[in-house]
């Protein structure tokens, strides 16, 4: 299992000085990226081969969110490689052993030149040292789009939204979705499914529907096709 140690920064917190869900996703992505860097499959190396790992979904269980100044450990390991796909598990704990969050995710190795998935080579899989499947159970990674969604806002993608691939950063989608939740930090879990990529100049419509036990927020294009579907479990 790979790990990185961090301290929660003021810039990562909300009005309650708790880590934001966007900040949490950034920590998970950074941990996975540093794992890849440290086993020899660096971003530069993958870029030179027109390759990149793209996350397709997050399933995050929250016990609590750490506060400003808290010292944390983020741990991760991949498991269940299948062709071009890999599952990856995460744990966020305090240095005192407090369990803050766990997460499951699916990643796809993409050829960025052809924009098609590519099978992970044997030496890459061996370098990541896959572990056993986690014993924790997670919900289905597919999130059905619900009826009755209402518009909660619109935003046009500018350069500040973009990652190195020219797409909207994964964490930025979560940030846009969480903005309509009024900074509520009381969710027990949240789930994210990425459907398509938004690019510079695209207009994103934010749609929302609140149910008794969860809130669904969908980020969609002008035709109503989802970029990202999220559920926030109360």
Burial of 133 (0-12, 13-18, 19+ CB in 10 A): exposed
Please give the Cα distance from 82 to 142 (Å, whole number).
18
Give the rounded percent of residues in the chain with a pLDDT score beyond 90: 87
- Tokens representing 165 are 């691939």
Task: Write down the domain spans for the chain.
Answer: 2-128, 150-233
DSSP state of 134: P
Q: Which residue has 């995460």 as its token pair?
A: 90
Please give the Cα distance from 59 to 46 (Å, whole number).
26
> Which of the four pLDDT bands, split at 50, 70 and 90, describes residue 184?
low
pLDDT (average), residues 70-93: 96
Helix (H) or strand (E) holding 10: none
The CATH architecture that domain 2-128 belongs to is Roll (3.10)
Q: Is the pLDDT of residue 181 over 90?
A: no
Which option is the CATH number for 150-233: 3.40.50.300, 3.10.129.10, 1.20.1250.20, 3.40.50.1370?
3.10.129.10
Helices (H) and strands (E) in the chain, counts: 4, 11
| CA dihedral sign, ordered 111, 224, 59, 66 | positive
Please give the Cα distance from 56 to 117 (Å, whole number).
12
CB 7 within 8 A of CB 100: no
Domains 2-128 and 150-233 share a fold: yes
pLDDT reported for residue 15: 87
Predicted TM-score (pTM) of this structure: 0.92
CB 36 within 8 A of CB 59: no
pLDDT digits over 31-65, tens only? 999 999 999 999 999 999 999 999 999 999 999 99
pLDDT reported for residue 183: 55
């Amino acid at each position: 299992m790979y790990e990185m140690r961090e301290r929660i920064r003021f810039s990562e917190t909300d009005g309650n000085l708790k880590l934001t869900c966007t900040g949490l996703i950034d920590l998970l992505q950074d941990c996975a990226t540093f794992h890849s860097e440290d086993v020899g499959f660096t971003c530069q190396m993958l870029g030179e081969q027109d390759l990149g790992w793209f996350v397709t979904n997050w399933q995050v269980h929250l016990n609590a969110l750490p506060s400003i100044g808290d010292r944390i450990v983020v741990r991760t390991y991949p498991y269940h490689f299948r062709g071009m796909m890999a599952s990856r598990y995460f744990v966020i704990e305090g240095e005192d052993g407090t369990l803050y969050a766990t997460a499951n995710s699916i990643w796809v190795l993409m050829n960025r030149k052809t924009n098609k998935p590519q099978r992970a080579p044997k030496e890459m899989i061996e370098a990541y040292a896959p572990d056993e499947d986690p014993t924790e159970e997670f919900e289905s990674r597919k999130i059905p789009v619900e009826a009755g969604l209402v518009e909660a806002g619109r935003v046009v993608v500018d350069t500040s939204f973009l990652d190195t691939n020219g797409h909207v950063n994964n964490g930025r989608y979560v940030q846009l979705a969480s903005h309509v939740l009024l900074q509520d930090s009381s969710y027990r879990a949240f789930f994210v499914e990425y459907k398509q990529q938004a690019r510079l100049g695209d207009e994103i419509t934010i749609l929302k529907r609140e149910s008794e036990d969860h809130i669904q927020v969908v980020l969609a294009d002008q035709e109503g096709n989802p970029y990202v579907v999220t559920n926030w479990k109360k």
